[in-house]
Amino acid sequence: MKKLDYNFYNRPDVVKIARELLGKVLVTDWEDGLTSGRIVETEAYKGVTDRASHAYNGRRTTRTEVMFNDAGSGYVYLCYGIHHLFNVVTNIKNTPHAILIRAIEPLQGINIMLQRTGKQKADRTLTSGPGNVSKALGILTRHSGISLMDNMVFIADDGFVLQQKDIMATPRIGVDYAGEDALLPYRFFIRNNIYVSGRRH
């Protein structure tokens, strides 16, 4: 399993990167153990020009400042005051592109994931949806800004090959406020994977 390097993230096309993250393995290694899952659903957010992005129109706050960091940083924010959502920062510094990891297929440390989530069994709800992904992997807002070049959180290529016909693209979920940008086909998922959240067409 080879960790994705800085050059993977430091590219201008966030939509392409979001697509290429499908099939890669997201790994966390905290004190309570190592957990990992294959990325099966992503959403791209195109920074200052994207009305669905937290950084639309160059908006910079204490929370969103991480999006302006160098490529390969983790951006974690709280949604509805409950869910910790994990995003991957891409492109050059001060270009706030980011990719939300919406779902993973559990691979390692499933017992640890069950403990973290309080679930009794490893059904699809364990890691379906971005809030569940972070909970299962132990990712919290305090980890926002963490480097994916380190060993605590990183994404790796384990040689899994995804057929192009199995990559689906749709508009993003829950961004109706973004006007025309809500219709952009910036959500990607693996066809017929049970962990994919929301609509599958």
* Least confident span in 13-17, 49-53, 88-92, 166-170: 49-53
Q: Which residue has the higher pLDDT, 201 or 169?
A: 169
Asked if 167 contacts 191 with a C-beta cutoff of 8 angstroms, the reply is: yes
Backbone angles phi, psi at 19, to 5 degrees: -65, -45
Task: Give which of 133, 168, 148, 169 is closest to 39, Cα–Cα.
Answer: 133
Question: Cα separations (Å) of 108 from 34, 72, 157, 193?
Answer: 7, 23, 15, 18
Residues in the chain: 201
pLDDT tens digits for 153-173?
999 999 999 999 999 999 999
Asked if 102 contacts 193 with a C-beta cutoff of 8 angstroms, the reply is: no
pLDDT tens digits for 41-66?
999 999 999 999 989 988 899 889 99
Whether residue 127 is predicted with pLDDT greater than 90 in this model: the reply is: yes
Question: Where do the DSSP E strands lie in the chain?
Answer: 2-3, 25-30, 33-45, 74-79, 83-90, 97-108, 153-157, 167-170, 187-190
Q: d(Cα 58, Cα 187) in Å, to the nearest integer?
A: 22
Whether residue 200 is predicted with pLDDT greater than 70 in this model: the reply is: no
Is the pTM for the entire model greater than 0.75? yes
pLDDT at 18: 98
